Structure formats: C-alpha cells, structure tokens
Amino acid sequence: MAMTDISPPSRFQLARKAFVKQGFGSPLAAAISVIVFAILVYIAWTFLDWAVFRAVWSEENVGMCDEHAGACWSVIDARHRLILFGTYPFEEHWRSTLAAVAIVLTVLISCLPQMWQAKRLAVLWGAGFATYYLLMEGSLLGLQQVTTDGWGGLSLTLFLFAAVVLLGMPMGLGFALMRRSDMPVVRWFAMIIIDTVRSLPLVTTLFTAAVVVPLLLPDWLEGDKIWRVIIAFALFFAAYQAEVFRGGFQAIPKGQFEAGKALGISYWSIMGRIVLPQVFRHALPSTINMVVVTFKETAIVTIIGFFDILASGKTAFGTAAWAPYYIEVFFFVAAIYWVFIFSLGQYGEYLKGRMALAAH
C-alpha cells in the first residue's frame, strides 16, 4: 500500500482556519464580523475617495482645491522642499540630501552581520558622521558655511536619532554595569544618575542643555547647542536603556557568572562572551521599543529652536494660502515617520529570529 505524503498546513491555512472559527463560529459572531467588515470597507472607501479619486495633485492645479472635496496634495508639490529641508539654504539642498543619504547608508551597512564588530562599527560611524558634518557645515569643503542653527528637515531628524542612539546605547550599558557593581560608591552613583534623569521630562532635560548650561559655563566650554542637546538626549536615552539592560541581567542565572569565575575566566571575558549576548537577547524587544520611541521624540527639539521634519511641516502650511491643507502635510510627514519606524520594527523582528536560532 502506497504511503501518502501529508504535509503540515501552511501558516496561511492555519490563519484562515482560525479566522473562520473565531469570526463565524456562531450566528452572533458572524453578524458582528459582517458589521465590522462593512464599517472597515466604508472607512477605506471614504479615505481613498478623499485621498486619491477626488484629490488635486499638482501645484499648477492648486486653484481646483477649493472646488474639490478631496485632498489637496498640491501643498506637498509646492512645499516639499521646505518640509524635507527646513531652513537649510535653498541652493544647498543637494548637500542636505547627500547628508541624509549618508546617515541612511551608514545605518543600513551597520545592520549587516558582517559589520557587527566594535572596530568596524566605530570606523563606519566615524566616517558616516564625518561625511554628514562636512556636507551640512560645508566650510571645510570650500562650500557655503551653514551653521547648525540652519540645519533642519529630515536630515536633522536622522542625524539626531542616529547620534542619540549611538551615544546612548553604550552609556546605558555602562550605567547598567555600574548599577550591578560590588563597589557601593559606583553603584550608588549610577543609581543617582539614572533615577535623577528618569525623574525629569525630556523637554526639561533638553531645555537645560540648550539654555541653562551656557549660563553656567565659560564661553570656551559651552560648545555648540546641537551637541549639548545630543548629549542631554543621549543621557536621557541611556537612563531608560540602562533599566532595560538591568532587566536582561536579572533574567540570567547568577550561577553562570559564578561558574565562569570558578574556571578562572576574567570578569570582562565572562561579560563579553557569556553574559552580554544573553542580556542583549532578553533586552531586545524593549530595546527596539526604546529606539522607535526615540525616533519619534526627536520632534521635541522644535521647542528649543531646531527645525526637524515635523517643525518644517508645520511651517509649510504657515501661510494663509496653505493653512487649510494642514491635514495633507501631516499625512505626508506621518508617512515618512511610518517608513522609518516600520523598517526599525521589521529589523527588530529579524534580530529576534536570528538570536532565537543562535540560542538553539
């Protein structure tokens, strides 16, 4: 008798079976499912009708915006440079574009497993930040000088995000290790720093760095405002990330560390080869959440005088002619945020899958 090859059901088949069972398992469930589906279809159709079918797309047809009940995407066509580049000089937008591309490429290359070594990442990010600064500032390349007060738009948002995470992540790990130290002075110092920073709102921390610190320091020591803001933002990120790492440490049995000491392995070898890989795996979901939140919180720099992409978007409809079309501008900015945040989330899922395989 021939054997029949019975393959397991696919993920789609399992999902479809679960949907049918839960959504149409009883007359009441079926009725609710139909009503919810009808509402979703109505909402989707209404949105498409407004955003696509009755929309005005080009700046040349801006006069038709008042006649149509749909979206006026003409505001994006006319003001996209202001949204994407902020107050950066119009003739130099190509520099801001290349600077943003440099940051994005640096992030993408950093995501490759072949680059996951401290020296390689240090060289890569050093080159990435140097390229960004040379392009945006310009004077060292013989271009028109643009001070940090004139930086803005998407390139500033990306730069702030990358700099804060890159500085804040090792700071957070350092605080977490200090908080677990056997030396009371080191442990209490870390606790005071972490708890103090976490007790303050982010806007207060940034305002202090931007406005108060220059009043307390001599001119030669105060530095540029953008660097003070980045350091303060990174410290805020590090305080929360330290608690994320601390949770990862607590998930690891103490016996592993004690076994390493019994075998004569040094403290840093135990940490680097045994403990930290497990800490990163346990802390990964919360770390991805922290990174996503940080990307969104870069918009707070508007309060202290920087024009990130959200502030630039608000400026785009700041005139009487474009004021009625603020919804379209916010949709455009939200779409940009969604692309980056969705990409971060997907990369986080990839890392979780990779670490799960490595654990087995």
Is-contact 105 112, C-beta < 8 A? Answer: no
For the chain, domains (ranges, CATH) are 73-359 (1.10.3720.10)
Q: What single DSSP character describes residue 51? A: I
Mean pLDDT for 54-83 is 80
Per residue in 257-268, pLDDT (tens digit) is 788 888 888 888
Is the per-residue pLDDT at 5 higher than 60?
Answer: no
User: Counting Cβ atoms within 10 Å, is residue 59 exposed (0-12), middle (13-18) or buried (19+)?
Assistant: middle
Is the four-CA dihedral 249, 347, 166, 85 of positive or negative sign? negative
Q: Which of 84, 169, 75 is nearest to 121 (CA)?
A: 169
Q: Which helix (H) or strand (E) holds 107?
A: helix 93-110
In which element (H, E) is residue 152 found?
strand 152-152
Mean pLDDT of 307-314: 89
* pTM for the whole structure: 0.86
Give pLDDT tens digits for 153-162. 999 999 999 9
Nearest 5°: the CA angle 245, 345, 17 is: 115
Mean pLDDT of 330-350: 92
Region 216-242 average pLDDT: 90
What tokens does 335 get? Answer: 């779409």
